[in-house]
Structure 1
Amino acid sequence: MDEFLSWYFTNNPILANHLGADGYDHTLGDFSAAALIAVEDEERRWITRLSELEPPTLDDAIDRDLVLSQLRGSVAMAQWPAWRRDPAFYVSLVFTSLNAPFQQKLKPEHELVAAAVSRLAEVPGVLADCRANLDPTIAAPLLIQRGLGQARTGRRFLTSTLPSLVDDPDLRAKLAAAAEPAADAFDQLVTFLDGFECGGTWRMGEQLYTVLLRERELLGYGAADLHAKGEHEWAALDTRMREVAKRVDGTEDWRAAMESLMDDHPPTLEAMRAEYEAETQRAREFVRERDLVTFPDGEKCKVLPSAEYTRPILAVAHYLAPPPLSSSRTGIFYVPYTPDDFTDEQVRQRLRTNSRAQMPSIAVHEAYPGHHWHLSHIAESRRTVRKVFRTPYFTEGWALYVEKMLHEQGYFDTPATELAHLDCRIFRAARIVVDTALHCGDMTIEQAETFMATRASLSPGTAQGEVNRYCAWPTQAPSYLTGAIEIDRIRESYSGTLKSFHDRLAGSGGLPLGLAEKALP
């Protein structure tokens, strides 16, 4: 397994550095077609080699099966390769490789700048590979436009935002100078993508979708069954929300009740960030007072504005975990700021979808005892592979599971926050329905946007951003509620205390749900 991880890190240096592995911070890696094809071939050889192993212990077997699930998913995706279809494959990795180290601050500033300068020198080559590798016969216009929106943030991010993260004026000037050729390369990519004509589809198709559910997530069902589960869950939640809505405004119309609650929101983006910070601290204190989990030593969750380069493509809160192969236990809860070119009305709609009634659920999900607690806890594990590989079907499932668990504990203690909690859950049921329908060809983008705006409490603009994300990232959106349901099922058969269940299951990693139960002592 150590040999495999060495190979994996060598071929994924951005991820290796992101995880906190030493020695991978000065390069972006090889993004040429020949190199990417060679990696796909090696993945197939690793599947054969690992499948022949006889693990001596249960934990070793779980580690082996975790890696195999990831490799089989990657090999399956080779028939639908992101590196030929989607410019975000390159652009997102470049941005993350440069931004995350300055946010995490694991090394002295002069070392961070030296590593960034080295990587900036490779950016023109990576973006040249992007232009060479995109295949107009399979790339979809929607994905090209999505990548174009990201690429347009490149110059400002590299020449202004990134240097502003450096305190020393000489180092700041050095970084800004090194950023200019990279910014020029982003300008060239913008021009290229703006004129790029293609005729591919963003729809994955039911067959590949089902393969990923069965072989990567180790679930016992495919896309059609998952779609049916989403419809069932939506209907059950709709019934519950009608009952709660009566306590909010006296009617069963929970959508109207949520619309009213969404009018109570922070007045500005910065005020939204400040209120999220306060809610995050309240959630932490609540979890500690009730002794629901064991807190890792030194953990800390910062609450910051989302990075500029994510704003065109992410309309919701998200989280950056502490590097699990490092000693850091500091994570970042990113509040969903809008792009600079948004109108006042678009900003208002973003604030409405982060209303004061909704903030408790979102803070629990992103921070305590959701993503931040879970991923800080994983970092304490002695099983290295489980700190490297995780699936959103566990991590997102965990974060939604703890929303429900904290509701059971009394955290959402008003009709307004209870309804908003259920709205967060029905939103995830709607995601299952829409994501499966979109990629199996049963729903158009317009129908999906209408569904999300009427079956969940999303503004039209936020619904549009959500559906755009589903088109680009198939199978991810259903992970939240699918995982939460499976974790609830595992909890029902566990005989220990609630705290021990949380510590043990979450401490096992972010395993495919078919493996998670095996790891619970």
Structure 2
Amino acid sequence: MTLLDDFLDWYLAEHPISATLLGADGHDRTLGDFTEAGFTARERAEEEWLRRLAEYAPASLDDEIDRDLVLSHLRGVVAEARWPEWRRDPAPYLGAIFGSMFAPFQQRLKPEADLVDAAVARLADVPAVLAACRENLDPGLASDLLVRRGLDQARTARPFLTATLPAGVADEGLRARLIRAAEPAAEAFDELVTFLEGFEAGGTWRMGEELYSTLLRERELLGYGASELHEKGLKAWDELDVRMREVAGRLGDTEWRAAMESLMDDHPPTLEAMRAEYEAETFRARDFARDRGLVTFPEGEDCRVLPSPEFQRPLIAVANYLAPPPLSTSRAGVFFVPFTPDGYTDEQVRQRLRTNSRAQMPSIAVHEAYPGHHWHLAWMAGSPRKARKIFRTPYFVEGWALYVEKVMHEQGYFDTPQTELAHLDCRIFRAARIVVDTALHCGDMTIPQAEEFMATKASLSPGTAAAEVGRYCAWPTQAPSYLTGALEIERIRDDYRGDLRSFHDAIAGSGGLPLGLARKAVIPA
């Protein structure tokens, strides 16, 4: 056992929900300690682990990369402790509960009786976790925007826990047991809803430039801060704007936004039809990537295409992906199609369908499935490096998925002006995200200004733009990861000596590393 192994064991023990979602055995009977004492004890321990691991001498290049990956993670969490999410936002509590209840039943890596046993044990912890949420939220730090997002999600808990979750249990006796266990948890959520409805928050969601830049440099290892990233986003937007005008001209429009508006009118008629068309496009992308030899496919990989779960719908307006647990033997993932929340009007549903038009579907299916997230995360699950299965950054994971959209374009997958324009629209959307996220958190843009920017500088409906901006406020530094990571991966590819398939297998198989470490993994000094 090395010091790094000791840290990984500590991490899994202290984060039982993450451990379970990663596929580690022995952690699925508890939600963990969400009290103030629990959070502060972990923060002190993380500072000590950072000190000890900074002095650790690795035995090989792979060990060095693993150590530096863990150090980047620890530097990030130590920096973020200055701006504690657990005091400002209900999300750490709610996300932990929903994720820990939903994913095991979705992935079904164990017999149904074992899944119900574990769920019943976790449900017993829910009242204490939500009590800690009420106790820990600080009115002076918590943001009204973040509290309202949490309230919207908390309102979905009762039907999710007492109806949706048990409906997936086939055995009648086990289903009844789960329903009984869910009721006290649902009551605790009812109490939290009442609490949040009356909670007066006076804090801000803005991270500020200093911490934002610290995370870019020390956690993401990018070598530059928020202002430089903002400028990169503006430059990328301008370059893409020129290219999109040219493609729009081939469609008979002088402006690409007008062309995209027209393309968005061609969309599936219903949410279920949207799911079915995404499923067909997903497997077309798989066949194309295989036929072109772009990547090596892992044995046993499988990607299902399903409606997004109910508890996600108030928070996420775009497609997303649930990966196979990397510490398990599973290679099965789920591409979630962005259904609207219950109660949306016909017009709101229509707008969601428009932002998943038939021209846009090829790019989105490539991004979420083949050879994007699903292929990458199924492939990297075969890595022998435990640290890289546990820790990964969106600057690689999301960067990879956008990078392969460009690769598929280069290979001829987007073979009409319509799908080419939609592909570029997906890319300019990510450039707009860089501009907006940095401006929001550095105090240079208001929420209405951000919503207008996303609705006019990318092809988003006003409703989807509002949902996107709410996400950026709640999740600083994540939105720029897509295009930032894609551009960095392209630079690594330019310096790589070998064919495209070997590059893809090597860099994606190295994990989801900060980009400087990814370069070291495939182009050793």
**Length-normalised TM-score, structure 2:** 0.99
Name the CA distance, whole Å, in 2 between partners of 1:87 and 1:151. 9
Give CA-to-partner distance per residue, 1:368-396, whole Å, 9 cap, x none.
00000000011000101000000000000
Q: Which residue of 2 aligns with 1:315?
A: 317
Name the CA distance, whole Å, in 2 between partners of 1:57 and 1:495. 22
Give CA-to-partner distance per residue, 1:100-144, whole Å, 9 cap, x none.
000000000000000000000100000000000000000000000
Name the CA distance, whole Å, in 2 between partners of 1:343 and 1:62. 50
Give the drift of 1:2: 1.5
Give the drift of 1:245: 0.3
> Aligned letter for 1:374?
H
Q: Which residue of 2 aligns with 1:12?
A: 15
Task: Find the partner of 1:227 among 211, 218, 230.
Answer: 230
- What are the ranges of 5 or more consecutive residues in structure 2 without an aligned counterpart? none
Does residue 1:62 correspond to 2:56, yes or no? no
Name the CA distance, whole Å, in 2 between partners of 1:213 and 1:513. 11
The equivalences for 1:314-393 within 5 A come to 314-393=316-395
The equivalences for 1:205-224 within 5 A come to 205-224=208-227
Name the CA distance, whole Å, in 1 between partners of 2:444 and 2:254. 30
Q: Which residue of 2 aligns with 1:26?
A: 29
State the SS of the aligned residue for 1:302: strand
Name the CA distance, whole Å, in 2 between partners of 1:5 and 1:185. 33
Name the CA distance, whole Å, in 2 between partners of 1:282 and 1:502. 20
Q: Which residue of 1 aligns with 2:155?
A: 152
Q: Which residue of 1 aligns with 2:308?
A: 306
Does residue 1:174 correspond to 2:177, yes or no? yes
> Aligned letter for 1:493?
D
Does residue 1:239 correspond to 2:251, yes or no? no
The equivalences for 1:50-129 within 5 A come to 50-129=53-132
Q: Which residue of 1 aligns with 2:514?
A: 512
Name the CA distance, whole Å, in 1 between partners of 2:253 and 2:30. 59
Give CA-to-partner distance per residue, 1:432-461, whole Å, 9 cap, x none.
000000000000000000000000000000
Task: Find the partner of 2:207 among 204, 207, 217.
Answer: 204
Give the drift of 1:314: 0.2
Does residue 1:429 correspond to 2:431, yes or no? yes
> Aligned letter for 2:318?
V
Identity of aligned residues (%): 73
Give the drift of 1:186: 0.3
- What are the ranges of 5 or more consecutive residues in structure 1 without an aligned counterpart? none
State the SS of the aligned residue for 1:191: helix
Give the drift of 1:199: 0.4
> Aligned letter for 2:129?
V
Give CA-to-partner distance per residue, 1:411-436, whole Å, 9 cap, x none.
00000000000000000000000000
Name the CA distance, whole Å, in 2 between partners of 1:251 and 1:459. 20
Name the CA distance, whole Å, in 1 between partners of 2:48 and 2:91. 28
Q: Which residue of 2 aligns with 1:498?
A: 500
Name the CA distance, whole Å, in 1 between partners of 2:164 and 2:171. 15
Q: Which residue of 2 aligns with 1:136?
A: 139
> Aligned letter for 1:507?
G
Name the CA distance, whole Å, in 2 between partners of 1:514 and 1:341. 45
> Aligned letter for 2:7?
F
Give the drift of 1:470: 0.2
State the SS of the aligned residue for 1:393: helix
Give the drift of 1:238: 0.1
Name the CA distance, whole Å, in 1 between partners of 2:150 and 2:91. 5
> Aligned letter for 1:203?
R
Name the CA distance, whole Å, in 1 between partners of 2:517 and 2:195. 44
Give CA-to-partner distance per residue, 1:68-90, whole Å, 9 cap, x none.
00000000000111100000110
> Aligned letter for 1:161?
T
Task: Find the partner of 2:455 among 453, 456, 460.
Answer: 453
Name the CA distance, whole Å, in 2 between partners of 1:23 and 1:89. 22
Give CA-to-partner distance per residue, 1:296-350, whole Å, 9 cap, x none.
0000000010010000000000000000000100000000000001111000000
> Aligned letter for 1:143?
L
> Aligned letter for 2:224?
Y
> Aligned letter for 1:24?
H
State the SS of the aligned residue for 1:496: coil
State the SS of the aligned residue for 1:298: coil
> Aligned letter for 1:109?
E
State the SS of the aligned residue for 1:294: coil
Give CA-to-partner distance per residue, 1:6-49, whole Å, 9 cap, x none.
11011100000000000011110000000110000000000110
Give CA-to-partner distance per residue, 1:212-237, whole Å, 9 cap, x none.
00000001100000000000000000
State the SS of the aligned residue for 1:481: helix
Name the CA distance, whole Å, in 1 between partners of 2:306 and 2:508. 25
Give the drift of 1:247: 1.3
State the SS of the aligned residue for 2:321: strand
Name the CA distance, whole Å, in 1 between partners of 2:518 and 2:5. 22
Give CA-to-partner distance per residue, 1:276-296, whole Å, 9 cap, x none.
000000000000001110000
Q: Which residue of 2 aligns with 1:480?
A: 482
Give the drift of 1:198: 1.3
Give the drift of 1:495: 1.4
Give CA-to-partner distance per residue, 1:250-286, whole Å, 9 cap, x none.
1221000000000000000000000000000000000
Name the CA distance, whole Å, in 1 between partners of 2:18 and 2:282. 28
Name the CA distance, whole Å, in 2 between partners of 1:240 and 1:396. 23
Give the drift of 1:54: 1.0
Give the drift of 1:402: 0.1
State the SS of the aligned residue for 2:305: strand
> Aligned letter for 2:274?
M
Name the CA distance, whole Å, in 2 between partners of 1:311 and 1:395. 22
Q: Which residue of 2 aligns with 1:417?
A: 419
**Length-normalised TM-score, structure 1:** 0.99
State the SS of the aligned residue for 1:319: strand
Q: Which residue of 2 aligns with 1:253?
A: 255
Name the CA distance, whole Å, in 2 between partners of 1:427 and 1:80. 28
Name the CA distance, whole Å, in 2 between partners of 1:334 and 1:198. 33
Give the drift of 1:56: 1.1
Does residue 1:279 correspond to 2:288, yes or no? no
Task: Find the partner of 1:403 among 399, 402, 405.
Answer: 405
State the SS of the aligned residue for 1:303: strand
